């Protein structure tokens, strides 16, 4: 990712449009950050398991009981484009 095409690939994966200026700036800064976090390689973790949940919780279940939620009017209140009770999305199959 240190070069321009590497940064462009990540920006595409992240669906994050970047300007030419940002691409060169981030290429430089991200290389430094990657170098910084790589210090972790000094830590021997060969026999260590990863921890994803610090409180040790595994599953959390709740009763399957209907309860009140938002009205569709409330749920749609911040959508930029709606038709009736629907949100207008970008096309999926018509985008090259």
Partner 1 sequence: MLNSFLTIKDILAGYKRREFSSKEVFDLCYKNISKSEGRIGAFVTLLDREGLKLSRNSIPVGHKDIFSTKNIETTASSNILKGYKPPYDASTVKRLSDKNFVCIGKLNCDAFAHGATGENSDMKVTKNPYDLTRTPGGSSCGPAAAVASGFVLMATATDTGGSIRLPSSFTNTVGIKPTYGRVSRYGVIAMTSSTDSIGHITRTVWDNAYVLGITAGFDPKDATSSHREVDDYLDTIEQGILGLKVGVPREYLENIPANIKDRFYESIKLLEGLGAKVVDVSLPSTKYAINAYYIITPSEISSNLARFDGIRFGGTRNKFGGEAKRRIMMGTFSLSAGYYDEYYLKAQKARTLIIEDFKNAFEKVDVLVTPVSPILPPKLNSIIKDTLKTYMMDVLTVPVSIAGVPSLSVPGGFIDDEGKKLPFGIQLIGNYFNEKLLYRIGYALEQETRYYETTPAI
Q: Which residues bind partner 1 (CB under 8 A)?
A: 1, 7, 10-11, 13-18, 22, 26, 29-30, 32-34, 36-43, 45, 48-55, 57, 60, 62, 70, 74-75, 77-81, 87-90
Q: Would you tell me how many other CB atoms lie within 10 Å of the CB of residue 25?
A: 13
CB of 12 to partner 1, least distance (A): 9
CA dist 69 and 49 (Å) reads 40
The distance of closest approach from Cβ of residue 25 to partner 1 in the complex, given in angstroms and rounded to an integer, is 8
Instruction: Quote the least distance from Cβ 96 to partner 1, whole Å.
Output: 19
Helix (H) or strand (E) holding 87: strand 86-87
4 vs 29, beta carbon nearer partner 1: 29
Phi and psi for 23 in degrees, rounded to 5?
A: -60, -45
* DSSP string of 15-43, one letter each residue: T----HHHHHHHHHHHHHHHHHHGGGGGS
Return the number of the residue (70 or 96) whose C-beta is nearest partner 1: 70
């Amino acid at each position: 990712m240190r070069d321009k095409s590497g940064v462009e690939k990540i920006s595409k994966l992240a669906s994050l449009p970047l300007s030419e200026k940002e691409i060169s700036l981030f290429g430089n800064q991200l290389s430094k950050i990657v170098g910084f976090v790589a210090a972790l390689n000094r830590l021997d973790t060969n026999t260590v398991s990863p921890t994803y949940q610090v409180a040790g919780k595994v599953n959390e279940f709740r009763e399957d009981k209907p309860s009140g939620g938002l009205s569709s009017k409330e749920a749609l209140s911040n959508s930029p484009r709606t038709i009736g009770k629907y949100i207008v999305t970008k096309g999926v199959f018509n985008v090259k």
